[in-house]
Amino acid sequence: MGKPLILTQDLSRAYRMGSETIHALRSISIAIAKGEYVAFMGPSGSGKSTLMNIIGCLDTPSGGSYILNDKDVSNMTDNELAEVRNKEIGFVFQTFNLLPRSTALENVALPLIYAGYGKSIRNEKALHVLESVGLADRAKHKPNELSGGQRQRVAIARALVNNPSIILADEPTGNLDSKTSYEIMDLFENLYIKGNTIIMVTHEEDIAKYAHRIVRLRDGLVETDQINTEIAMHHQPA
């Protein structure tokens, strides 16, 4: 393995709650290579969401270091973090987070506005990624005209449009029924095969089984970090 894409060393995160200090992360050291597909698992309060937020540059650690793609992001300012987020990370959330009055195409093109692309290039890139998630024919539809699975595909296309270093998926199937969940996980598997680095937070064992490596957290520490030898494959015909 060459240099890791993500490297955390003794990462900790504490919050003040009144007079109490909550230690969400105590000491997390993990390395993730480019092109890996990793699931973070753990019960509520295990620290998985806090770790996800730090890796996604939405939060900074209280102690330890986090190197992303050769950049030390541990002590960056909010503006620097925002820039790294826009360039390096594609987010997929449980609640899709789509703009209701915008079309699928406009939602997907949104990150490109911040990246400074002109409109025709934005639309071209957005259409291309919508095509890659099988939704080119829904480009003009608004979120309320799409099914939950289609909305999540739009969200995945939006995450892909900037060609990020990492796709971070937070409970990506949390609001979907089982059949749709498996279709979305098949899509992630295809993205992984194409060389994308995927990190997913989930509390569902059957969803975590799609990842090729499973990191289990408990009480702000890594409990186990194992290669998944029984990768789930549903692969309905595309």
Q: For 110-147, write each residue's pLDDT tens digit.
A: 988 878 889 999 999 999 999 999 999 999 999 999 99
Packing angle between helix 148-160 and helix 178-193, nearest 10 degrees? 20
Residue 159 in domain: yes
| Alpha carbon separation from 46 to 80, 128, 221 (Å, rounded) | 28, 38, 8
Residue 7 in this model has a pLDDT that exceeds 90: yes
How many separate domains does the chain show? 1
Rounded Cα distance, 48 and 17, in Å? 19
Residue 4 in domain: no
Amino acid symbol at 79: N
Q: For 179-211, write each residue's pLDDT tens digit.
A: 889 989 998 999 999 899 999 999 889 899 999
Residue 15 in domain: no
Domain of 176 in residue numbering reads as 36-59+78-227
Residue 65 in domain: no
Asked whether the beta carbons of 234 and 179 are under 8 A apart, the reply is no
- CATH assignment at residue 177: 3.40.50.300
CA-wise closest residue to 161 among 106, 203, 216: 106
In 47-194, which ranges are E strands?
63-68, 71-72, 89-93, 166-170
Structure tokens at 193: 């095969």
Residue 72 in domain: no
Structure tokens at 118: 């002109």
pLDDT of residue 234: 61
Asked whether the beta carbons of 157 and 133 are under 8 A apart, the reply is yes
Q: What is the DSSP string of 79-109?
A: HHHHHHHHHHEEEEETT----TTS-HHHHHH
Structure tokens at 32: 């993730």
Residue 95 in domain: yes
pLDDT of residue 238: 40
- Which of the pair, 64 or 115, is modelled with greater confidence? 64
